[in-house]
Amino acid sequence: MVTIRHHGTTSEQIDDRLVLPFDLRQKSRQRATLESGAEVALLFERGTILRGGDCLLGDDGRIVLVVAAPEPVLLVSCATARELICAAYHLGNRHVPVQVGDGWLRFEDDHVLHEMLLGLGAKVVHEIAPFEPEAGAYGGGHRHASAQGEKSHIHHFGEDAG
């Protein structure tokens, strides 16, 4: 079994893909199956979160692209910016991981939060979509990839940056 310990490499060559929902992209130690069917052991530092577009390096030299799997989420929109900010405040107050878009919020499907947001006047829609929540104020790095097909790359901040 191939072991993957290195996160954040950049490559134009992609040998395989790892498709995972957000809850599994947060686990630092796990066995996973690549799109090709190959099994890998993922061994990262605690707190590592894999993002769609990240590249991983296997101990055999293979480059694996991380893909955010479509999963059940709720998409929230509001009639006004103030209402959307209020919805974001209430989700943040409950420490809910939230993906922020232009005029919308997305988070993992939860019936209690769904009802709360409806009560606040928000429009809430069930959908199946990749989930990429904000890293938070102390996330430690950020990722870039363009829609024009540029290769993904990641910037890390702190003492391990290189």
Using CA atoms, how far apart are residues 148 and 141, in angstroms rounded to an integer? 22
> What does each C-alpha distance from 38 to 10, 92, 100, 101, 116 come to in angstroms?
21, 38, 34, 34, 42
Q: Which domains does the chain have, with CATH numbers?
A: 2-68 (2.60.260.20), 70-130 (3.30.70.790)
Judge residue 148's burial from the number of C-beta atoms within 10 Å of its C-beta, 0-12 exposed, 13-18 middle, 19 or more buried: exposed
The pLDDT tens digits along the chain (162 residues) read 999 988 776 778 999 999 999 999 999 999 999 999 999 999 999 999 999 999 999 999 999 999 999 999 999 999 999 999 999 999 999 999 999 999 999 999 999 999 999 999 999 999 999 999 998 766 554 444 444 444 544 434 333 434
Q: What SS3 state is found at 31? A: strand
- Residue 117 CA, distance from chain mean position: 23
Q: What is the pLDDT of residue 38?
A: 97
What angle (nearest 5°) sits at the alpha carbon of residue 140, between those of residues 135 and 142?
A: 60
What angle (nearest 5°) sits at the alpha carbon of residue 138, between those of residues 137 and 139?
A: 100
Tell me 95's DSSP state.
T
